[in-house]
Each structure stands twice: as C-alpha cells, then as structure tokens.
Amino acid sequence: MWPIARFRVSDSSMVPTLNPGDYVLVNRWAYLLGRPSPGDIVVVRHPTHTNTVLVKRVASVTEGGDVIVRGDNPDRSVDSRQFGPIPRGRIVGKAFTTAKP
C-alpha cells in the first residue's frame, strides 16, 4: 500500500475549508506511531457503509483512541453527532494538502 492517496470531496460538509470536487492528499501512515489531534482533517471509513469514506475534522480523541469527527459545515454534515466515535482502525489517514484533478 502506498503511503499517499488522493480522495475526492463529494459533498459540502467541509465548506468553507474544502469544497465539493476538491481533492485531498492523505498520508496513510500518519498515525502508525502517533495519535490524531483535534483539528486534523482526516479520511475515515463510514461506520456502517464500509465502501464509503468521509473527509472530516477531528473534534476530539477519546482515551481509548477513537476519534470524534465533525464537518466544518455542521448543517450539511453527517458525522459523529449521528454515528458516534470512529474507531482508530477506521481512520484511512491524515489530509495534508489539497490537489487539483
């Protein structure tokens, strides 16, 4: 598995930070040794739709290492307010920059 992956933002849940159609480059190895921090933008696997990934911001990290994620546009975001904490193993990686198609 390559350490860097590109993901497309598919909805408006991260506006104004990220817009639909934007791409983020993600470091898949970012959390092999460290923990996510509040404020990190991450790609996570949806808790019930296993083929779906979400781009969200880490709001907090539980003592067990699960992450609470939120969209920057709360009125348009499906996030931990609906489905609870995301287990650390469902984090795909940390976004570190945007990219054009």
Residue 100 designated active-site: no
CA nearest neighbour of 86 among 101, 64, 25: 64
pTM of the model: 0.93
Catalytic position from the list 56, 77, 80, 94:
56
Residue 94 designated active-site: no
Catalytic position from the list 10, 13, 80, 94:
13
* pLDDT, tens only, 31-69: 998 999 999 999 999 999 889 999 999 999 999 999 999
* pLDDT, tens only, 71-92: 999 999 999 999 999 999 999 9
Residue type, 100: K
Measured distance CA(88)–CA(79) in Å, rounded: 15
Measured distance CA(33)–CA(35) in Å, rounded: 7
Q: Which domains does the chain have, with CATH numbers?
A: 4-99 (2.10.109.10)
Q: Which residue has the tokens 């639909």?
A: 20
Q: What is the pLDDT of residue 93?
A: 97
